[in-house]
C-alpha cells in the first residue's frame, strides 16, 4: 500500500511529492498533518505551509505573502562575501530584503566583518525580517535607510524583481498566487527596479561601494544599456541556471 501523503501530493501535481512528504511529516504532528497536506495540495507553497525556508545555510521564518527565498539566488551571498574581502569592516544593505534570508546568510558567514541591514517596501516583509532577527527598515529600496547611512553603504545586495509584467504568468502558479506582486513584477522589461536602485546609489554608496544583483540571462544586453544610461560600470560575474549575477560600481 502506497504512502497516502505522497499520493495526495502527487495527485495535486507536486513534482517532488516524496521529498515534500518527508518535510511535512517532520514539521507537523499526526493531528495537524492532514490539514497541512491539504494546504499544500491546494497550491500553497511548501515553505508557507511549514513556515520556514532554508537558504545558503540559514533557516528563516517565512509567512504569506512574503517572498520565498530562492536557492538560485544563493550566489549573491558569495559575491557579497567576495566584495567584503576588500574591506576590513563594511556596511551591507539587503535591498528588498523580503524575509531577510539573504542578509542573514551574509551576516552568518561574516559575523565580524559586516553590519547588515535590510529594507523592503512591503510591511509584511519588514515584519517577517525583523522576526528573523534582521534590522529592517520599511520604504523604497535604499531610500528606506535612516539618513545616518548616507554615503556609507559598502555593498548593496539586491534580489530585485526582474520578471517583465507580460511574463508573470511564467512564474509557477503556487508562488504567483502566494507572494506579494511587488516582489515579482519588474515592469515592462523587467528592469524598472534596477533602474530605481541605480538612481539611488549616488546618495548611499560609499566611495568604493558596489551593487551586487541578478537578472535573467536574456536581459544581459538590456542591463548593459541601463548601466550605460546610469553611468555605471558593471561586470557579469557568473551565469547560473538562467540567471546572470552582476557586480556594479
Are residues 95 and 137 located together in one domain of the fold?
yes
Q: How many residues does the chain have?
A: 249
The answer as to whether 19 is a domain residue is yes
The answer as to whether 140 is a domain residue is yes
The tens digit of pLDDT for each residue in 6-44 reads 999 999 999 999 999 999 999 999 999 999 999 999 999
Stretch 105-124: mean pLDDT, rounded? 97
Are residues 86 and 55 located together in one domain of the fold?
no
The answer as to whether 185 is a domain residue is yes
pLDDT at position 86: 87
Are residues 101 and 185 located together in one domain of the fold?
yes
Averaged pLDDT score across all residues of the chain = 97
> Which residue among 39, 61, 83 closes a domain?
61
> Which residue among 34, 61, 88 closes a domain?
61
Stretch 124-136: mean pLDDT, rounded? 99
Are residues 171 and 152 located together in one domain of the fold?
yes
Are residues 198 and 232 located together in one domain of the fold?
yes
Is the pLDDT score of 1 beyond 70?
no
Give the pLDDT band (50/70/90) at residue 196: very high
Stretch 213-219: mean pLDDT, rounded? 98
Radius of gyration from C-alpha coordinates of the chain = 19
Are residues 115 and 231 located together in one domain of the fold?
yes
The answer as to whether 66 is a domain residue is no
Are residues 171 and 209 located together in one domain of the fold?
yes
% the chain with pLDDT above 90: 96
The answer as to whether 141 is a domain residue is yes
Are residues 199 and 77 located together in one domain of the fold?
yes
Are residues 32 and 124 located together in one domain of the fold?
no
> Which residue among 20, 42, 61 closes a domain?
61
Give the pLDDT band (50/70/90) at residue 2: confident
Asked if residue 174 has a cis previous peptide bond (ω within 30° of 0), the answer is no
* pTM metric for this prediction: 0.94
Q: Is 218 exposed, middle or buried (0-12, 13-18, 19+ CB in 10 A)?
A: exposed
Stretch 119-129: mean pLDDT, rounded? 98
Asked if 134 and 104 touch (Cβ cutoff 8 Å), the reply is yes
The tens digit of pLDDT for each residue in 153-163 reads 999 999 999 99
β-sheet bridge partners, residue 117: 93
pLDDT at position 171: 93
What range does the domain containing 22 cover? 4-61
Are residues 172 and 116 located together in one domain of the fold?
yes
Stretch 102-107: mean pLDDT, rounded? 99
Are residues 217 and 122 located together in one domain of the fold?
yes
Are residues 15 and 117 located together in one domain of the fold?
no
**Side-chain half-sphere CA neighbours of 22 within 13 A:** 3
**Angstrom distance (rounded) from CA 12 to CA 40:** 9
Instruction: Kindly report the CATH number assigned to the domain that includes residue 157.
Output: 3.40.50.150
The answer as to whether 31 is a domain residue is yes
**Angstrom distance (rounded) from CA 134 to CA 99:** 9
Number of separate domains in the chain:
2
The answer as to whether 191 is a domain residue is yes
The tens digit of pLDDT for each residue in 58-70 reads 999 999 999 999 9
Amino acid at each position: 500500500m502506497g504512502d497516502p501523503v505522497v499520493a495526495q501530493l502527487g495527485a495535486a501535481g507536486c513534482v517532488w511529492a516524496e521529498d515534500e512528504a518527508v518535510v511535512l511529516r517532520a514539521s507537523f504532528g499526526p493531528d495537524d498533518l492532514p490539514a497541512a497536506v491539504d494546504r499544500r495540495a491546494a497550491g500553497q507553497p511548501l515553505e508557507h505551509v511549514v513556515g520556514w525556508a532554508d537558504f545558503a545555510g540559514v533557516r528563516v521564518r517565512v509567512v504569506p505573502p512574503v517572498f520565498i527565498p530562492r536557492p538560485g539566488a544563493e550566489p549573491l551571498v558569495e559575491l557579497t562575501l567576495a566584495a567584503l574581502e576588500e574591506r576590513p569592516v563594511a556596511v551591507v544593505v539587503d535591498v528588498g530584503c523580503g524575509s531577510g534570508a539573504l542578509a542573514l546568510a551574509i551576516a552568518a558567514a561574516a559575523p565580524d566583518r559586516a553590519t547588515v541591514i535590510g529594507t523592503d517596501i512591503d510591511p509584511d516583509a519588514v515584519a517577517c525580517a525583523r522576526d528573523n532577527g534582521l534590522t529592517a527598515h520599511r520604504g523604497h529600496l535604499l531610500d528606506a535607510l535612516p539618513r545616518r547611512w548616507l554615503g556609507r553603504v559598502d555593498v548593496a545586495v539586491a534580489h530585485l524583481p526582474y520578471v517583465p509584467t507580460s511574463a508573470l504568468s511564467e512564474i509557477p502558479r503556487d508562488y504567483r498566487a502566494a507572494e506579494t506582486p511587488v516582489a515579482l513584477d519588474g515592469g515592462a522589461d523587467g528592469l524598472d527596479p534596477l533602474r530605481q536602485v541605480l538612481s539611488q546609489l549616488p546618495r548611499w554608496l560609499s566611495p568604493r561601494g558596489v551593487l551586487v544583483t541578478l537578472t535573467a540571462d536574456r536581459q544581459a544586453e538590456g542591463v548593459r544599456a541601463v548601466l550605460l544610461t546610469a553611468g555605471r560600470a558593471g561586470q557579469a560575474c557568473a551565469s547560473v541556471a538562467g540567471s546572470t549575477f552582476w557586480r556594479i560600481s
